[in-house]
Amino acid sequence: MTEPCVTTTFEERGGGRVARVTLQNARRANCLSRALIIEIGDAFRALAPLEDLRAAILTGAGDRAFMAGADLAELGSADAAAGRDFITTLQHTHQAIRDLPVPVIARINGACMGAGLEMAASCDLRIASDNARFSMPEVLIDLPSVIEAALFPRLIGWGRTAWLLYRGDAIDAATAAEWGLVEKSVPLDALDAAVDELAETIAQNGPTGIRLQKSLMRDWERLPLDDGIRAGIEALTDAYRTGDPRGRIAAYRK
């Protein structure tokens, strides 16, 4: 029996669970084959119905790479139809990550390239080890950067996006943090502690408020400002209907 390429484990945090989804392809620097992409998407779709889920962590096995991009053996033998199928499958997995009702933290341990960087951008928050390097090398192999690369201007602005996408070479973790591509860069031996602290903090917050906040932030990505503000009024109303803000306020005031 073959070993799974993606594993999901759980830890109890803040009265609920935090999931850790790990790519088990360290021998190949966690590069993304089509089969592995499907497994990642399936893992996140399986998490979505879990009512006690508070947060999820996405990472790659080993210290060498978070994800070293798409499997070039597959892309190198693709024609237009196969390339379209590969990238569409990848986008469906990114969508599954973005659609998870709770925040997703990318634990970036080492190289984060191409499709791997797009997958990290699909997460809500990103913490990187100081040995991480970030690149979008598609133009080096005569392809454009696509799908969730469209999120980059929102994260780092148009100029820095152009720098990454037109050059194709790498920036280091310190630069990624300075640009806002990741929220935090820490020494490799402190990475787990930093990720765990963030997951613990999220898990201890109100579960209804967190889920409504993530849904509202997704709305803010696509709505005009006035509509986004009105959506917030509905979200707060829903919190009183379905959550426990009164109990949380009473405890907060003590």
Distances (CA, A) of 209 to 81, 199, 217, 231, 246: 43, 15, 12, 14, 12
Whole-number Å distance between alpha carbons of 151 and 118: 8
Q: Using CB atoms within 10 A of its CB, is residue 53 exposed (0-12), middle (13-18) or buried (19+)?
A: buried
Domain parsing of the chain, residue ranges = 6-204, 207-253
Which pairing describes strands 171-172 and 6-13: parallel, antiparallel, or unpaired? unpaired
Q: Which spans in the chain are helix H?
A: 34-47, 72-76, 80-99, 115-122, 152-156, 158-167, 173-179, 191-204, 207-222, 225-242, 245-253
Question: What are the two backbone dihedrals, phi and then psi, of residue 107, each rounded to the nearest 5 degrees?
Answer: -95, 100
Contacts of 35 by beta carbon, 8 Å cutoff, 6+ apart = 5
Whole-number Å distance between alpha carbons of 114 and 133: 11
Tens-binned pLDDT, residue by residue, of the chain (254 aa): 455 599 999 999 988 999 999 999 999 999 999 999 999 999 999 999 999 999 999 999 999 999 999 999 898 899 999 999 999 999 999 999 999 999 999 999 999 999 999 999 999 999 999 999 999 999 999 999 999 999 999 999 999 999 999 999 999 999 999 999 999 999 999 999 999 999 999 999 999 999 999 999 999 999 999 999 999 999 999 999 999 999 999 998 88
Topology classification of domain 6-204: 2-enoyl-CoA Hydratase; Chain A, domain 1 (3.90.226)
> What single-letter DSSP state applies at residue 192?
H
pTM over 0.85: yes
**Residue 51 corresponds to which tokens in the numbers above?**
């009512």
